[in-house]
Structure 1
Amino acid sequence: MLIGDVARQSGVSARMLRHYDSLGLVRPTGRSGAGYREYSSEDIRRIFHIESLRSLGLSLREVGRALDDPGFTPSELVDDLIRQTRERIAAETELLTRLRRIGAVEPTSWEDVLQIVALLQSLGSKSAGKRQRAALSSVEEVPVPVEALVEAVLSETDPNVAGALRWALAQSGDGGLALLAEGLGSPVAEVRKRAVQSITEIPDGEATALLRDALANPDIAVRRYAALALGARGVADAVPTLIDMVVEGTNDVDAADALSALASRPALADRIAARLVDRLAHGTAGPSARRRLTQALADIPGTTASRALADLSHDEDRAVALTAAYILGIRDAR
């Protein structure tokens, strides 16, 4: 079969077949009377083998080894091809992500594109200073895609840079909330913590709804951050978690302050005081926890808190009794 017929049958161009010949990959078995290359059925079969191996990503040199070297080990080469393909996919995915983020900002000029690229590169810099400047620039100069800000804030370890990123994310609106919500379900505790911290700084109704949901998160740290933020926003759902924090002695001062802020609403004051009293009477709180609960009653207005403090001023635990008496004295002097 002549080269033109082989090209039509195999789909390999005549030029490439000549290239294969020059490399010694497929040498035609014979020549016609006019000196043209003639391919046998075995030659054509070898061409199909070459094309099959090339489709896997093998170079022509590797194809030659695979077909002609008796000691060739295909498993090693396949493993290497898998590694190379994964690296290529990762690189292409990174490029696609970068292009998508640039497109999301809807740049109007190439100067905008270059500035966005520079900011994205700075967000991934090893220098904390560069990352922090990029976070601030994303609000003051060229906007950075929200997706990039969320990715940066969820991976940031430097507290100063993290603060700048959270601020930038809060200025961008609620566009990153869905991604932050995914962060709350991360298997990595630090990522969950960064996600909830970022949500607490977004003053938005959807953010508040996410924080309400976070009160049921399996991660106790997430629940605590959510409760403190919700307390500051006047959401009564946070009360049980805040009281737990007082009992456990974890950020108990902040938790007591949040309870006090909530208790400024008359409808909540007696409910909060009753819950604190219930924990005091429950019998499971240790001496230090009972003192913290008593101290938490100090800034809870209303008759329920006052009656509880009067009872506690006679408590068997002298420290609790003295604390309650001292608080009562201050309340009476107001």
Structure 2
Amino acid sequence: MSITYVDAILEAQDHLLREDPRVFLYGQDISRFGGAFKATKGLAEAYPGRVLDSPISEDAMIGMAIGAALAGMRPVVEMQFADFSSIAFNQIVNHAGTHFYRTGMPVPITVRLPSGGTPGSGPFHSQSMEAIYSHYPGLVVVTPATVSDAYHMLLQSVALDDPVVYCEHKFLYRWLKASSIDREAPPLGQARITRPGKHATIVAYSAMVHEAVRAADRLKVESGWEIEVVDLRTVKPLDMDTVLASVARTGRLLALGEAFPWGGVTAEVVARVASEGFHLLDAPPKRFNSRDTPVPYHPNLWAAHRPTPETICLAMRELLAF
């Protein structure tokens, strides 16, 4: 029997509701309907009064969650799609993100963002918002890429006193499976070496970790290159110690992300490596993202819009040839 990525998110919420009376879930159609992706299926029946349908107002959703958190609760808010969280932008960055700095009172809310693209989803249901929220002080932004991380990082997020933006990738929901959930996980803010290597480093996060591993496996078979893959896991804070240690071993860096390229997580990784680890590099660091256009609807166009193992291999060969 296997457990999927979305199963792990469901199990984590079940655990939280069972173990912590301060936790409640809030979102559009998440009670009886179980949410747009069934990530809360069955929880309303198991925990009456603690899995609550919200109005179709993301601004009001986060405002209510902030008030509940200040009153001692631990709200977990589900956005139907990450894209829609922009409606609550003011509440998230100006109120939740700054409240402890302004008053000394923490705002322990967790905002679940179904992120990233899937075939046919188009420009309003496919965006990756992690860099936008990472720009603002006071927020923690996590991007689990494995089934075990989807489970443990949600538990860790809710336990944290800081507001957390939890970016779960929709493409992984039912595609990514594991035989079990690991008993333990690294702490928030710590990256992981997913695949060891010695010739170049790919720094990735969320669904792109799996595309990076596929590309690395292909380069090994075709050319004998050993590519190290670093899974950031958390993009704010950013574990530069693990990234720089990997670059020290390999001398080359490709920062990989599904989000738009301008001002993204990959840009931050390249900038930090260039300023803090320039002496470690044997080639100019590169970044590789989706194209700088709205996300297309057609599955073929979507596949051409985002990085794939084939295009990642092309970028890596250019880096390795320098």
TM-score (norm 1): 0.30
Higher gyration radius (CA):
1
Higher helix share: 1
Higher strand share: 2
Higher relative contact order (CA 8 A, sep 6+): 2
